[in-house]
């Protein structure tokens, strides 16, 4: 699943806080933003989010209504899984207590312990 732009994040916030599926107009009204947003902007953002797989849409009368595909917690769990899967990539994050050591790192540690033990 793709990442989020700033406005996309705000729209997801709105959808996660809502109890029911929302129309574009509802999302627009719920968004608190420094400058007023155009209806078409929100429509485009929701369309992008749909394309990225973050929101689901269904027809309600003449308009679409939008819901988040997964809950905030589920999305968080997925982000965490991505980080854990990439944890060999140490230049990104330093991941405490769950990271598997690379073969080179294990070799360094084993050698150090062997030498320490033999003294």
Partner 1 sequence: MTVALGLLLATLLVGAFGPVYLRATVTPRVRPGFALAAWVSTLLLLVVSGLGAAIALALPRGTGLDGLFGMATSCINIVRPGGEVIWAHVARLGGAALLFGLTAWVGLVWVWLALRHRRWRRAHLRLLHTVCQRDNAIWWLADDLPVAYSVGGRPGQVIATAGLTRLPPDERAAILAHEYAHLRGRHHLLVLAARAMAVALPFVPFCRQAPAAISVLVELAADAVAAREHGAAPVRSGLLAVSARGAPRSALAMSRDAVDARLRWLDGRQGGLGRLPAKFDHALATVLSCAPIAVALGAAISVVLAYCLAIGAG
Among residues 29, 51, 98, 118, the one that binds partner 1 under rule CB under 8 A = 98
25 binds partner 1 (CB under 8 A): no
9 binds partner 1 (CB under 8 A): yes
Binding segment toward partner 1, per CB under 8 A, in 20-28, 29-37, 44-52, 82-90: 82-90
34 binds partner 1 (CB under 8 A): no
Residue 66 beta carbon to partner 1: minimum distance, rounded to whole angstroms: 16
Instruction: Give the distance from CA 107 to its chain's centroid.
Output: 35
Q: Which two tokens stand for residue 46?
A: 């929701």
Q: What is the DSSP string of 7-23?
A: HHHHHHHHHHH-SS-B-
Instruction: Give the distance from CA 102 to its chain's centroid.
Output: 27
Interface residue list for partner 1 (CB under 8 A): 3-6, 9, 12-13, 72-73, 75-77, 79-80, 83-85, 87, 90-102, 104-113, 115-116
């Amino acid at each position: 699943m793709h990442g989020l732009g700033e406005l996309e994040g705000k729209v997801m916030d709105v959808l996660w806080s809502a109890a029911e599926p929302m129309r574009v107009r509802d999302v627009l009204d719920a968004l608190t933003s420094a400058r007023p947003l155009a209806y078409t902007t929100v429509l485009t953002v929701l369309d992008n989010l749909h394309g990225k797989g973050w929101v689901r849409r269904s027809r309600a009368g003449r308009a679409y209504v939008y819901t988040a595909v997964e809950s905030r917690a589920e999305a968080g769990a997925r982000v965490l899984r991505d980080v854990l899967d990439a944890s060999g990539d140490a230049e990104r994050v330093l991941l405490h207590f769950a990271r598997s050591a690379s073969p080179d790192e294990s070799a360094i540690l084993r050698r150090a312990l062997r030498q320490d033990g033999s003294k």
